[in-house]
């Protein structure tokens, strides 16, 4: 009987500073000024009999279909055809502190430029090479699986990100992990969770970072050993933000009273507020000195005198220029975040890693891997607003038929024994992920269902019709109102064709889990601005 095998490879894909546009935020005026932590390509190749599946996780915001195709073609050639093109999954972690790989975020040319061709050519060779390296590292392994709920690491941002509408929101707090052990011990882990890669302060540092995935990898390597490879698959992240600060539910908000006539701001009860968050309020003065001296800060050069009165109120006095209320609020938030033991992106990564470690120790179950299967399909998606889609790089992927506009994307279903991994080529909302998991588990049994977003391409946000109609920020970069349901149906068709899986029928009329954890207080909601009357 042929043994189940796995091989891993991790390589550096960090671009150079000085000439690299950072992806994820429009309006950045500089190229990358430094490297906080390296970007990685983390690859696993699985083998059973004559079938091989390759999954690569890249610390990138996303890739265009053209780049994905080049990686697949080269990996096929380098492996002498042992790894078939359709058996390769290219997933991006969606860090907002990596290179602009899609030509959207170049300073001074927002949406109107091309990606760095030199970097992409190097990237294609490195990523295809990582697949070859993992193939060459194949060895017999056993597989196991664990799942659990992680509270306090993510929140739904749709109600908070201007100009989004207020609407009841939810998250998917499920953390899933596939562990692969050889005779020498744990070799690698596939980790699946959902959170946007926005916990690293890109705008203020202009540094390259893998965001929270860096903290996740480092924590796992520190606990196990440096040879363990983490292949992180980010889920439906379209409406999910990472939470780096655990805020007690019972905490009371504080008021920021602005007296613009006297160039003064008063934050009532600031010391007590900081005490609840385990922050030393007396350090605020030295923090402000660092901020106003930082040339990249919005408060650079602003004269701010700070003091704490006997009641623990924070007094801010501005010598000349009175900052905007938004920048004052941001200053307070940065102080509280900065005073934590670890940076925000490390805290988020550690939370996920510690959950993965705990699950491995207490809830892991063995998987009988009797099959490796890859199913792939090309899906035609609607483009409701061709003028929006025609901006910048997306124009190359618009198809016109009889006056209507479409785009074609790839979706995949991988089967590793009883476990299923599904790809979504963009940033889907949580409801889409929950519906896929719920429908499959209701009709095919309680099996591992991992969702890998921003995979094999990146077409922006993918909203359900209901979310699309509510408008808001994400709908501005969503190609079509019905695209979520189109992708869901096709993925369920692929799932239904897998081994031992009963046909899974699509339906919108199902009860999705509602997670009250989304009601955890958020720091910016606890800092209330008011003008002095």
pLDDT, position 393: 59
- 25 versus 391: the higher-pLDDT residue is 25
CA–centroid distance for 283 within its chain: 32
Q: Is the pLDDT of residue 521 over 50?
A: yes
- 509 versus 420: the higher-pLDDT residue is 420
Name 372's Cβ contacts closer than 8 Å, sequence gap at least 6: 46, 47, 48, 51, 52, 53, 414, 415, 416
Cα separation of 116 and 119, whole Å? 5
Name 349's Cβ contacts closer than 8 Å, sequence gap at least 6: 212, 213, 214, 215, 216, 217, 218, 219
285-307 pLDDT tens trace: 999 999 999 887 888 888 999 99
Omega cis (within 30) before 163: yes
- % of residues, the chain, pLDDT over 70: 95
Comparing CA positions, the residue from 168, 141, 144, 138 lying closest to residue 156 is: 168
Cα separation of 231 and 280, whole Å? 37
Answer positive or negative: Cα dihedral of 120, 126, 132, 134. negative
* pLDDT band with cut points at 50, 70 and 90 for residue 517: low
pLDDT, position 296: 74
In three-state form (DSSP H/G/I as H, E/B as E, the rest C), the secondary structure along 282-317 is: HHHHHHHHHHHHCCCCCCCCCCEEEEECCCCCEEEE
Name 488's Cβ contacts closer than 8 Å, sequence gap at least 6: 432, 435, 436, 506
- 5 versus 203: the higher-pLDDT residue is 5
Q: Kindly state the average pLDDT of the residues 350-354.
A: 97
Give me 307's structure tokens. 């003091």
Q: Is the pLDDT of residue 1 over 50?
A: no
pLDDT, position 110: 64
94-104 pLDDT tens trace: 999 999 999 88
Q: Is the pLDDT of residue 269 over 70?
A: yes
With contact defined as beta carbons under 8 Å apart, do 83 and 136 qualify?
no
Name 117's Cβ contacts closer than 8 Å, sequence gap at least 6: none
pLDDT, position 325: 87
pLDDT, position 451: 99
- Sheet with strand 51-58: strands edge to edge: 88-92, 51-58, 40-48, 5-12, 139-140
DSSP string, 435-488: HHHHHHHHHH-S--EEEE-SBS---SEE--HHHHHT-STGGGGBS-TTHHHHHH
Domain range summary for the chain, segments of one domain joined by +: 254-339, 373-508
Give me 2's structure tokens. 């042929």
* pLDDT band with cut points at 50, 70 and 90 for residue 79: very high
476-502 pLDDT tens trace: 888 899 999 999 999 999 999 999 999
Q: Is the pLDDT of residue 414 over 90?
A: yes
Name 240's Cβ contacts closer than 8 Å, sequence gap at least 6: 154, 155, 156, 157, 171, 172, 194, 195, 196, 430
* pLDDT band with cut points at 50, 70 and 90 for residue 389: low
335-345 pLDDT tens trace: 998 888 888 89
Q: Kindly state the average pLDDT of the residues 316-334.
A: 88
Structurally, what CATH architecture does the domain formed by 254-339 represent?
2-Layer Sandwich (3.30)
- 84 versus 523: the higher-pLDDT residue is 84
pLDDT, position 392: 53
**pTM, two decimal places:** 0.90
Q: Kindly state the average pLDDT of the residues 34-52.
A: 98
Q: Is the pLDDT of residue 395 over 90?
A: no
Ramachandran angles phi, psi of 407, nearest 5°: -140, 150
Least confident of 286-290, 436-440, 472-476: 472-476
CB burial string 59-73: b at 16+ within 10 A, e below? bbbbbbbebbbbbbe
Across the chain, mean pLDDT equals 92
Cα separation of 169 and 489, whole Å? 23
């Amino acid at each position: 009987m042929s043994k189940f095998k796995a091989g891993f490879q991790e390589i550096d894909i960090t671009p150079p500073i000085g000439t690299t546009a950072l992806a994820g935020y429009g309006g950045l005026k500089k190229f990358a000024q430094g490297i906080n932590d390296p970007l990685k390509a983390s690859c696993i190749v699985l083998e059973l009999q004559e079938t091989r599946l390759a999954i690569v996780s890249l610390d990138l915001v996303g890739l265009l279909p053209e780049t994905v195709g080049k990686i697949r073609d080269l990996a096929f050639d380098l492996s002498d055809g042992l790894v078939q093109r359709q058996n390769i999954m290219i997933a991006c972690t969606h860090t907002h502190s990596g290179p602009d790989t899609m030509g959207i975020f170049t300073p001074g040319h927002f949406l109107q430029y091309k990606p760095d061709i030199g970097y992409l050519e190097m990237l294609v060779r490195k990523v295809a090479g990582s697949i070859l390296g993992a193939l060459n590292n194949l060895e017999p392994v056993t597989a196991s699986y664990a799942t659990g709920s992680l509270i306090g690491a993510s929140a739904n941002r749709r109600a908070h990100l201007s100009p989004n509408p207020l609407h009841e929101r939810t998250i998917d707090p499920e953390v899933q992990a596939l562990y692969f052990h050889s005779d020498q011990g744990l070799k690698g882990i596939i980790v699946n969770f959902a959170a946007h890669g926005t916990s690293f302060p890109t705008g203020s540092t202009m540094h390259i970072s893998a965001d929270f995935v860096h903290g996740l990898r480092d924590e796992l390597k520190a606990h196990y050993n440096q040879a363990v490879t983490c292949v992180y698959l980010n889920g439906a992240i379209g409406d999910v933000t990472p939470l780096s600060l655990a805020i007690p539910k019972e905490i009371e908000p504080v008021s920021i009273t602005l007296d613009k006539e006297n160039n003064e701001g008063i934050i009532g009860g600031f010391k007590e507020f900081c005490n609840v968050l385990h922050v030393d309020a007396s350090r605020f003065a030295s923090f402000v000195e660092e901020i106003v001296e930082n040339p990249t800060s919005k408060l650079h050069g602003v004269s701010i005198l700070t003091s704490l009165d006997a009641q623990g109120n924070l007094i801010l006095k501005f010598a000349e220029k009175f900052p905007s209320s938004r920048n004052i609020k941001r200053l307070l938030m940065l102080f509280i975040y900065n005073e934590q033991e670890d940076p925000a992106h490390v805290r988020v990564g550690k939370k996920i890693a510690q959950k993965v470690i705990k699950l491995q120790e207490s809830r892991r179950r063995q998987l009988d891997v009797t099959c490796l299967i890859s199913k792939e399909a090309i899906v035609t998606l609607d483009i409701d607003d061709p003028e929006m889609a025609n901006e910048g790089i997306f124009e190359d992927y618009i198809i016109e038929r009889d006056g209507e506009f479409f785009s074609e994307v790839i979706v995949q279903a991988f089967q590793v024994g009883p476990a299923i991994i599904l790809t979504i080529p963009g940033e889907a909302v949580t409801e889409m992920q929950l519906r896929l998991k719920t429908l499959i588990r209701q009709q095919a049994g309680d099996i591992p269902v991992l969702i890998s977003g921003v995979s094999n391409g990146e077409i922006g946000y993918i909203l359900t019709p209901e979310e699309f109609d509510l408008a808001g920020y994400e709908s501005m970069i969503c190609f079509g109102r019905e695209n979520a349901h189109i992708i869901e149906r096709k993925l369920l068709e692929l799932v239904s064709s897998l081994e031992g899986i009963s046909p899974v029928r699509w339906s919108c009329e199902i009860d999705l889990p509602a997670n009250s954890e989304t009601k955890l207080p958020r720091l910016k909601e606890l800092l209330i601005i008011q003008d002095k009357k």
